[in-house]
Amino acid sequence: MTEESYYGEIEHLIKKSEINKRVRDIEANNNLITTYWNIGKILVEAQGGASRAKYGNELIKKWSIRLTNLYGKGYNASNLRKFRQFYLAFEKCSPLGSKLSWSHYRELLIFKDENERNFYINLCIKNNLSKRELIKEIKSKAYERLIDKPRKIDIIIPNKPKITTDMKDPIIIPVDKEITSEHDLELSILANLEFFFKQLGDGFAYIGHQYKLSDGNKNYYIDILLFNVKLNCYIVVELKLRPLKKEDKAQMEYYIKLIDEQIKEVHHNKTIGIIITKESDAFIANFIRSEEIIPLTYKLEKI
Tell me the CATH number at 212. 3.90.1570
> Domain range holding 117?
3-139
Buried b (16+ CB within 10 A) or exposed e, 166-177: eebebbbbebee
148 domain residue, yes or no: no
Q: Does pTM surpass 0.75?
A: no
The answer to whether residues 246 and 118 belong to one domain is: no
166 domain residue, yes or no: no
Q: Which residues of the chain have pLDDT under 70?
A: 1, 3, 6-8, 10-28, 49-56, 93-98, 157-177, 193-200, 280-303
The answer to whether residues 135 and 7 belong to one domain is: yes
HSE-CB at 149 with a 13 A cutoff on CA atoms is 15
Q: Residue 302, Cβ neighbours under 10 Å: how many?
A: 8
8 domain residue, yes or no: yes
The residue out of 81, 116, 139 marking a domain boundary is: 139
- State the pLDDT at residue 296: 45
The answer to whether residues 295 and 180 belong to one domain is: yes
The answer to whether residues 261 and 190 belong to one domain is: yes
User: Any bridge partners for residue 292, and if so which?
Assistant: 289
Distances (CA, A) of 177 to 25, 241, 303: 40, 15, 9
- State the pLDDT at residue 165: 45
The answer to whether residues 201 and 91 belong to one domain is: no
The answer to whether residues 133 and 182 belong to one domain is: no
Whole-number Å distance between alpha carbons of 257 and 297? 26
The answer to whether residues 7 and 133 belong to one domain is: yes
The answer to whether residues 132 and 175 belong to one domain is: no
- State the pLDDT at residue 95: 56
The answer to whether residues 205 and 295 belong to one domain is: yes
149 domain residue, yes or no: no
